Chain A
Amino acid sequence: MTEPLLKVDNLRTYFSTEEGVVRAVDGISFSVNPGERRGVVGESGSGKSVTAMSIMRLIEPPAGEIVTGTIDFRGTNLLELGEDEMQSVRGGQIAMIFQDPMTALNPVYTIGDQLMETIMLHQGVSKREARDIAATALADVQIPHAAARLEDYPHQFSGGMRQRVMIAMGLSCNPDLLIADEPTTALDVTTQAQIMDLMLNLAEDRGTAVLLITHDLGVVAGFCDTVQVMYAGGIVESGTADEIFHNPQHPYTWGLLGSMTRLDEAQQIRLHSIAGAPPSVIDLPVGCRFRPRCEFAQEICGRVLPALREIEGRTVACHRAAELDLKALDVRGAAARKSEVTS
């Protein structure tokens, strides 16, 4: 049994707003093993980005606060580190890539300056050495004429190229964990394919663990070993990618997969639709947070918040997971079944 690289336990990150306390992340626990590629999926407001920000300790008080929990990284609780110590973890051992590479890069410094800053800070090398490392890092992410392009400014790069720069920056110090927060959401689909392919190759070559945060289940299917599904600040289900996609146990995961349009689906069938919208994280429902939208909800679901329990090798937070046979229910509804009969 390998020791997990990252172990998050009962993390709660709250924000205080005029309307009330936003329980953005509300008691989540999970771990990432060395070299594991883990997907964190959920819709807007599910708490997936706040999870990443919490691990990086980028939550700024007094607006936001990590209320409880521990974040163990290689045996050290990151929440107990001083700001200086955390600074050397950030970028050095844990790197992060953001959704919008234009806002993540400083427009008035060259790409080279920004890459070298990170490298000099974490590797204690001279400027000359840092330049060489930076050029290699750019070449590794397949930017042509890497050494010359160090002199260029962010606006001289296209969106896909900027995201490559971000990946180069993230991986330049050989981190153990890379957190990628919606790294391809702002990109076109052919560029997305290039970037995901690049990240996969680099992570595999270097054995870097990746926490991929995304709303796109398709991207997760091609990249991740394990997946955790988040809903309204909590994890509702986690397991291997195969289990989650082929045999979802939580009604939300099941409904989400059923509501996706698919490239490989020939017949025009009616999409499964999850009624309503996610709850406000200020005013969470009592009991299971998915209950108001769940077609299988029973009396207990309105009273008790279900804990993550182990069922068939993965963890599910649903009172009825053990008795429901979701696989037997065709999520795509009667229309799909009818066309199977006729074809």
Chain B
Amino acid sequence: MSDTTGQAVAVTSVDVSDLPDDVIMRVNHLVKEFPISKGVFYRKQIGAVKAVTDISFEVKKGETLGLVGESGCGKSTTARAVMRLLEPTSGDVWFRSESLDKVVNVAKANKEEMRALREDIQIVFQDPYASLNPRMTVASIIAEPLTVHGALDKRSRIDKVKDLLKVVGLQPEHANRYPHEFSGGQRQRIGIARALALNPSFIILDEPVSALDVSIQAQVLNLLDDLQNEFNLTYLFIAHDLSVVRHISDRVAVMYLGRMVEMADRDALYDRPFHPYTHALLSAVPIPDPTKELARERILLQGDIPSPANPPSGCRFHTRCPIAQEGKCDVDEPQLEELEPGHWVACHFPEIKNVI
């Protein structure tokens, strides 16, 4: 099905013993496609939405990797596929599991391994209204992972819930209330407490502050910062807001239409971006300063993002790229290359441009 597997990409080695000590997760050639079917009685696959095409990256222990891009770029699919909430179409996700005390391929783990991995890898969702069951009390929401995994007896579970509430800045007395009694920010704290219940080492944060007002956003971001320090957590932070990502991330990866186009240390990506899509994306983000806004130049992209069911040939960005060259960009798909130490770019004509 996939026409891109087997191509050379940044990280080629898949050997387990090769996983350096400071790396907690290595994603190799990850592909996720959703079939498009037709017919009522004889369902026939007539195509596929190529949500994620051949993505490879590493996450270092204790760091925050920000994954940014616009809607439909595949960032949430990537997040779900690396923890197997979605079954990857192909590719490997090597993960250093604390509970199993070894490196496991999440993409191919068996049922028992998967159960253990669920303790190591947790997720916090975007919408704190949809991700908390309205019929459950806060205590039972937070204790559910403990119950499912048979950790602790009932009395210890209650103590643990109260501890967790305190850790995320809520009152232990809140345990017996229901989600509707809380504001958006407080609900997101409950979601975070639930994610922390099994002492995970790796947390996927899928747009955790996008639904929150600015003043509440700051509270939750500060909390995530504190928790990372306190519990030595590794974050995979998915967001469309590039300001938030700059604030929280150590390294940042930019995705466009299922592909990774650029990945670098935070300041390198923001101050010295190479890829024309990163340029456009960064230049589009407004800065709350009228003087700076007046002086900035916006790179306005033409048209809309193409359909991932039928992505453009060659470089997927070439249809909207201001510097695309015919005969090259519409034919050859550029691969990620390390242009500076730790700075990976997939572009035939990379050029540093300061757009902030």
> B11 near A: Cβ within 8 Å?
no
**B288 CB contacts on chain A under 8 angstroms:** 217-218, 220-221, 245, 257, 260, 262
* Distance, CA A7 to CA B122, complexed state (A): 53
* Distance, CA A278 to CA B186, complexed state (A): 13
Query: Which B198-248 residues have C-beta < 8 A from chain A?
Result: 213-219, 221-222, 225, 240-244, 246-248
**B287 CB contacts on chain A under 8 angstroms:** 218, 221-222, 262-264
Cβ A273 vs Cβ B284 within 8 A = no
Cβ A218 vs Cβ B304 within 8 A = no
Output the least CB separation between B55 and chain A (Å).
Answer: 20
* Distance, CA A161 to CA B302, complexed state (A): 12
Q: How many residues of A contact B (CB 8 A)?
A: 46
**B270 CB contacts on chain A under 8 angstroms:** 263, 266
- Nearest to A217 among chain B residues (CB) is B288
> A256 near B: Cβ within 8 Å?
yes
Known contacts A194-B301, A241-B290, A262-B287: A188-B242 contact under CB 8 Å: no
Cβ B225 vs Cβ A270 within 8 A = yes
> B271 near A: Cβ within 8 Å?
yes
Cβ B214 vs Cβ A43 within 8 A = yes
Cβ A270 vs Cβ B222 within 8 A = yes
Query: Which A243-277 residues have C-beta < 8 A from chain B?
Result: 245-246, 255-257, 259-266, 268, 270-275, 277
- Nearest to A192 among chain B residues (CB) is B284
Cβ B242 vs Cβ A263 within 8 A = yes
Q: Which of A190, A215, A216 contacts B284 (CB 8 A)?
A: A190
Q: How many residues of B contact A (CB 8 A)?
A: 47
Interface segment out of the listed B36-44, B113-121, B291-299: B291-299
> B16 near A: Cβ within 8 Å?
no
- Nearest to A219 among chain B residues (CB) is B286
**Cβ contacts B273-294/A at 8 Å (1 or 0 each):** 0000000111111111111111
**A70 CB contacts on chain B under 8 angstroms:** none
* Distance, CA A272 to CA B214, complexed state (A): 11
Cβ B247 vs Cβ A271 within 8 A = yes
> B71 near A: Cβ within 8 Å?
yes
Known contacts A264-B292, A271-B221, A277-B185: A190-B301 contact under CB 8 Å: yes
Output the least CB separation between B122 and chain A (Å).
Answer: 23
> B183 near A: Cβ within 8 Å?
yes
- Nearest to A257 among chain B residues (CB) is B288
**B298 CB contacts on chain A under 8 angstroms:** 193, 197
* Distance, CA A271 to CA B294, complexed state (A): 25
Output the least CB separation between A41 and chain B (Å).
Answer: 10
* Distance, CA A158 to CA B320, complexed state (A): 16
> A298 near B: Cβ within 8 Å?
no
Output the least CB separation between B223 and chain A (Å).
Answer: 9
Known contacts A160-B304, A241-B290, A242-B291: A263-B356 contact under CB 8 Å: yes
> B267 near A: Cβ within 8 Å?
yes
> A189 near B: Cβ within 8 Å?
yes
Cβ B285 vs Cβ A218 within 8 A = yes
**B213 CB contacts on chain A under 8 angstroms:** 43-44, 215, 278
**A272 CB contacts on chain B under 8 angstroms:** 218
**B290 CB contacts on chain A under 8 angstroms:** 221-222, 241-242, 245-246
> B70 near A: Cβ within 8 Å?
yes
> A191 near B: Cβ within 8 Å?
yes
Q: Which of A158, A188, A193, A260 contacts B243 (CB 8 A)?
A: A260
**Cβ contacts B51-75/A at 8 Å (1 or 0 each):** 0000000000000000000110000
Cβ A221 vs Cβ B225 within 8 A = no
Output the least CB separation between A282 and chain B (Å).
Answer: 14
Output the least CB separation between A122 and chain B (Å).
Answer: 30
Q: Which of A197, A242, A261 contacts B247 (CB 8 A)?
A: A261
> B151 near A: Cβ within 8 Å?
no
* Distance, CA A272 to CA B247, complexed state (A): 13
**B183 CB contacts on chain A under 8 angstroms:** 277
**A271 CB contacts on chain B under 8 angstroms:** 218, 221-222, 247
Output the least CB separation between B299 and chain A (Å).
Answer: 8
> B300 near A: Cβ within 8 Å?
yes
Output the least CB separation between B353 and chain A (Å).
Answer: 15
Output the least CB separation between B238 and chain A (Å).
Answer: 15
- Nearest to B282 among chain A residues (CB) is A263
- Nearest to A242 among chain B residues (CB) is B290
* Distance, CA A218 to CA B286, complexed state (A): 5
Known contacts A188-B70, A263-B246: A274-B285 contact under CB 8 Å: no
Q: Which of B185, B247, B283 contacts A193 (CB 8 A)?
A: B283
Q: Which of A160, A256, A266 contacts B215 (CB 8 A)?
A: A256
**B300 CB contacts on chain A under 8 angstroms:** 190, 193-194, 197
Q: Which of B217, B271, B280 contacts A190 (CB 8 A)?
A: B280
* Distance, CA A263 to CA B288, complexed state (A): 9
Cβ A259 vs Cβ B215 within 8 A = yes
* Distance, CA A245 to CA B292, complexed state (A): 11
Cβ A265 vs Cβ B289 within 8 A = no
* Distance, CA A196 to CA B219, complexed state (A): 29
**Cβ contacts A191-208/B at 8 Å (1 or 0 each):** 111101100000000000
Output the least CB separation between A80 and chain B (Å).
Answer: 36
Query: Which A271-307 residues have C-beta < 8 A from chain B?
Result: 271-275, 277-278
7 sampled A-B residue pairs with Cβ under 8 A:
A158-B304, A160-B304, A222-B294, A263-B356, A271-B222, A274-B219, A277-B216
Closest 4 CB pairs of A and B: A218-B286, A259-B218, A193-B284, A222-B293
Contact surface of A with B, Cβ cutoff 8 Å: 43-44, 158, 160-161, 188-194, 196-197, 215-222, 241-242, 245-246, 255-257, 259-266, 268, 270-275, 277-278
20 extra interface residue pairs, beta carbon distance < 8 Å, beyond A245-B289, A262-B288: A43-B213, A43-B215, A190-B280, A193-B300, A218-B285, A221-B288, A222-B294, A246-B289, A246-B291, A255-B215, A259-B215, A260-B214, A261-B221, A261-B246, A264-B287, A265-B247, A271-B218, A271-B247, A273-B218, A274-B219
